[in-house]
Structure 1
């Protein structure tokens, strides 16, 4: 564990590891504002890392929120599970949820000091966050689910085909193979197929990935897809979804390439306190879209967290 303080911004940074499920080392970082009244925990999406959220976190810090974020198993500086350093894999989707609980119990809550605790969960992290809110409903008062992974866009392959094939590959011992059309990190930029339409923000993170091998995550395994389908199925079980106590704001991206809106619409209709806002012109990563989208978006984010 290491601590440092930025005297100019009055932020205390802490890096460290904790032991997740199955003795997996999980990396985290905290951005503490000494005068903050609230703490936001970020649950990131597939292929992501803390570094991808630096600008977003800086914005939250400027608005007097302390931020805690972990890198999910198989990602960045946390323990890896793929067949190479690029691949995303997971043993059981619920391990993501249990890691988040351990993070909260061992790192976040002991430092809460009676402050309010909020969740910000994006994409895959949104599915993790939704499951957490169902299973452990006494941690977060409010949660933002940002383009949550509740219906995966399986591209040219129909969803039923993808479900059957991913399950079959796992059954015959090929679950660690890359999904069709996916593979190791590609060192050629591709803004068009990315989650943002912002050249500036895309390039900022992409060139950071080129410099730091631990950020070079890319394709997923059949096992990850199979486990993700199972995780999404759990989200929509009636006995689970009725347990949610937190007030939820769900953002939907109108130009999302990675997840479909149907699952998000269904979730919103089933949860007792969930409002959906659709950002028509945004791609998947709304939190790092071009300025004309991001500025209006962050206003809505802050407004939601600030209303008690």
Structure 2
């Protein structure tokens, strides 16, 4: 297993996909890895990299930074720079202080990984036992999403085609998981790039990944006559000026079903709504509640519990 932060995830993925590392690596957990690049790299290459305190320059790393091919490999690999009429990839346009040949070579580095992944997933062994990438992605932080060329420099923007997508402040959320992987497998954390790998909920996610191999999940398959399931039909939000109807269904017959409503904001409080049987394994009721955020849950004996969170807007007159 690899656990990698930022560009370390690119190094690990190159090993996994292009050097047959998938045969030896169970999981790759990445924290803020710019699989599709970062606008910050473009800004540093084009505009320079200087640490300042007021009018004083404390450190100028521009020359060193521009000498690293690895920094070019952090350039966005998707349309990012406005050429005057549309967005294009940095390697497809002349940009001040940017070596276009090196930018094209860096794009090839990413293309090599993508092509290797496409070939690998055709293999039965890769699909059954290949490396699982588990990306932890930072959100809610202002992050460069696009850029324009002005005079002799590059100006980045947190907007992409009129939309603010956010990220971890360095890596856009759309960049932090690889091409070919589904966003549904991503874990989102509200944190900055430098702190992403150290916040508590990110570490809990990592602990869960690390301990997963200690569990034999085949032991926990549902028995045909084991616990039943419950499905809820409850609005995500409703106007509290009138009662809201809801229903639930059980996968097998049960003598009675009870529900519990808990308020999640303000003063803690609980309600037990009345449930009426309206059909085979089907129950209905109404919720008349003050404005607020709530959780509804139901858990008959020998059934897997089910719950949902909903919002009440306004206030019910008789609450």
Q: TM-score range by the shorter chain?
A: 0.3 to 0.5
- How high is the TM-score relative to the length of structure 2? 0.36
TM-score, length basis structure 1? 0.38
* Larger gyration radius, structure 1 or structure 2: 2
Higher relative contact order (CA 8 A, sep 6+): 1
Higher helix share: 1
